[in-house]
Homo-oligomer: A and B are copies of this chain.
Amino acid sequence: VEKISIGNYLLTRLAQLGVTSMFGLPGDFNLGFLDLVEDHPQIDWVGNCNELNAAYAADGYARIKEGSIGVLTTTFGVGELSAMNGIAGAFSEMVPVLHVVGVPNTVQQKTRPLLHHTLGDGRYDAYGKAASQFTICQQYLMDTHTAAEKIDHAITECITKARPVYLTLPTNLVYREISSERLKIPLSHDIPFNQPEMEQAVVDLIYDRVQAADGDVVVIVDACVIRHNARKEVDELLKATGFPVYATPMGKTAVDESYFRYGGIYVGSLTHPDIKEKVESAKLILSIGSLGSDFNTGNFSYNIPKTRQIEFHSTYTEVNFARFDNIGMKHMLPKLTERLRDFYHPGHKLSVPAFIKQLPEENTPVISHLWFWPRVGFFFKPKDVIVTETGTANFGILDVPLPSGAVLVNQILWGSIGWSVGSTLGAALAAKDVGMERVILFVGDGSLQLTVQEISPMIRKGLKPIIFVLNNKGYSIERYIHGKDRRYNDIADWKWSSLLDTLNDGGKYPTASYTVNNKEELNKLLDNEAFAAADKLQLVEVMMEALDAPQALERQAELTGKGNAYAAAATA
């Protein structure tokens, strides 16, 4: 049999999955492996500025490159722990990320000398133990006999469960040779089929419920449709039945927003009154891929009794309190679609509120959230990748209808600020592979300060995102939650317009920066064709007021503040 080094075995597996970029930083425990990466014909090494940003980038890459995974490589201790919050975010948000860690050689792992990057007490297992809290699978390569199997297992877990995994690669194993036999069989993405009789029974049950509802049915799509690659299956169900469809904040763009039966965003008590009434009055709600977190549900304010809801998840289905384990939506939805074709006409009876772009009239030059978001709505094009950061941006984008084929990426459950910057780097690299076009980031001035350096690799890799920095002098989302005038919500007032120039690679790449102080300036910029063509990296500083926010945020903030109960009243 042909031989291959363990390092290249891993890279071949990644290449088979379509991985084209690897994120991370060098460190003396991974340098040997990076030689192989640098020499690999398909995989490009993206040197990040720090490991947290690298994890965010791998996450953004995986989100756009559906069916593939994001990969980062870090070094023992210092590197891997720096990435921990990014990995935990991928766990929480169900993003398939492989974290490869270069670790001391296998002899050192046993004798545990007092090496640099250790805790000083010989606990070589501490980092893996910490990682086990935030990854679904940890594999420690220790010899040539089990290496291939461990690598395959880690990657398979990653792709089928859409969660991060952890893999250690000791320095002395990178070049050790093993059989390449297993590589002939590509790793399977396939998730298990549902047990046929049980699946049939569930489909029948749902059919009966739909019939009883007399076609008065609406669909709500949520995050897991995206994470578990069920967009196509959902689309076919919708087209076959004509049922009205709404999305949650995390499910936005799971369904094409230009689809004529799409009605906008449902987010519990924060929902637009029109939409709220339509959704909550339906006799039956098919809730697909739901993720019921506070910010995704208007603080748990769904006004839909369980009895009127059917839940479709990646690994189970729930109908009227009955849980059907191992009946996953991916395989069941196509069968359901066939059964429900009868409802094509009644399905179309229900009216759907028009989810269309509208620019409010305001007679002030100030760029308000109320005006800003609809305005950028007119700037978007099909095939745009839109990334929004936690803060006012995540709320502002919700009411903007996005063009057909545009994709929105956000991190509403985990909500780690700074994520969007690394994520944009990864998303922009992935976008090139999947035929998406512009990448547009909306990030608050506060959030951008956490991870600002990651703009540098964007420039260096020739990427051309448009970065809108919402300059509202600090942490506005927090001002709405608590401490409106507190200094801890202020930040330093950076000179955003000179940032790209500072972070450029010796000025080698063209970039452009703009500051827009009022509506007129923003209009002019957005209408400028050269700007809209996004043929270089561009940063737009948007001047906004510290105490302005999208309406949905104002209401959410109130609810969050109450939950935190800083008032002395609450009892422990």
Minimum C-beta distance from A533 to chain B (A)? 25
Stretch at the interface among A9-17, A62-70, A338-346, A452-460: A452-460
| Cross-chain contact of A294 among B92, B113, B143, B294 (Cβ < 8 A) | B113
Check A527 for interface membership: any CB of B closer than 8 A: no
Given contacts A52-B82, A453-B450, contact A490 B47 (CB under 8 A): yes
Alpha-carbon separation in the docked complex, A488 to B22 (Å): 12
Check A149 for interface membership: any CB of B closer than 8 A: no
Size category, A interface: 35 or more
Judging by beta carbons under 8 Å apart, are A38 and B486 in contact?
yes
Check A179 for interface membership: any CB of B closer than 8 A: no
Check A43 for interface membership: any CB of B closer than 8 A: no
Judging by beta carbons under 8 Å apart, are A171 and B565 in contact?
yes
Q: Which residues of B contact A208 (CB under 8 A)?
A: none
In the complex, residue of chain B having the shortest beta-carbon distance to the beta carbon of A88: B81
Minimum C-beta distance from A378 to chain B (A)? 30
Alpha-carbon separation in the docked complex, A561 to B450 (Å): 34
In the complex, residue of chain B having the shortest beta-carbon distance to the beta carbon of A177: B568
Q: How many copies does the complex hold?
A: 2
Q: Which residues of B contact A532 (CB under 8 A)?
A: none
Minimum C-beta distance from A493 to chain B (A)? 4
Minimum C-beta distance from A77 to chain B (A)? 7
- 0/1 interface trace, chain A 92-133, chain B, CB 8 Å (1 if under): 111000000000111110000111111110010011011001
Q: Which residues of B contact A502 (CB under 8 A)?
A: 494-495, 498-499, 502
Alpha-carbon separation in the docked complex, A292 to B120 (Å): 9
Check A201 for interface membership: any CB of B closer than 8 A: no
Q: Which residues of B contact A50 (CB under 8 A)?
A: 52, 418, 449-451
Check A172 for interface membership: any CB of B closer than 8 A: yes
Minimum C-beta distance from A116 to chain B (A)? 5
Given contacts A34-B486, A38-B488, contact A144 B417 (CB under 8 A): no
Check A160 for interface membership: any CB of B closer than 8 A: no
Alpha-carbon separation in the docked complex, A565 to B572 (Å): 56
Minimum C-beta distance from A112 to chain B (A)? 12
Alpha-carbon separation in the docked complex, A293 to B104 (Å): 14
Stretch at the interface among A303-311, A358-366, A475-483: A475-483
Check A492 for interface membership: any CB of B closer than 8 A: yes
Minimum C-beta distance from A55 to chain B (A)? 11
Given contacts A32-B564, A449-B49, contact A417 B78 (CB under 8 A): yes
A32, A38, A130: residue with the most chain B Cβ atoms closer than 10 Å: A130
Judging by beta carbons under 8 Å apart, are A415 and B572 in contact?
no
Judging by beta carbons under 8 Å apart, are B85 and A31 in contact?
no
Check A503 for interface membership: any CB of B closer than 8 A: yes
Check A193 for interface membership: any CB of B closer than 8 A: no
Judging by beta carbons under 8 Å apart, are A129 and B133 in contact?
yes
In the complex, residue of chain B having the shortest beta-carbon distance to the beta carbon of A293: B114
- 0/1 interface trace, chain A 407-421, chain B, CB 8 Å (1 if under): 000001111111000
Check A512 for interface membership: any CB of B closer than 8 A: no
Judging by beta carbons under 8 Å apart, are A172 and B116 in contact?
no
**Could you write out 6 A-B pairs with CB less than 8 Å apart?**
A31-B564, A116-B293, A116-B413, A130-B130, A176-B570, A502-B502
* Extra A-B contacts (15), CB below 8 Å, given A52-B82, A116-B294, A495-B504: A26-B488, A34-B483, A35-B566, A81-B88, A84-B130, A107-B570, A114-B292, A143-B572, A172-B565, A172-B570, A450-B453, A453-B453, A493-B505, A495-B503, A498-B501
Which residues from chain A sit less than 8 Å from chain B, CB to CB? 5, 26-29, 31-32, 34-35, 37-38, 45, 47, 49-52, 77-78, 81-82, 84-85, 88-89, 91-94, 104-108, 113-120, 123, 126-127, 129-130, 133-134, 142-144, 170-177, 291-295, 300, 412-418, 449-453, 456-457, 459-460, 475, 478, 481-483, 486-495, 498-499, 501-507, 560-561, 563-568, 570-572
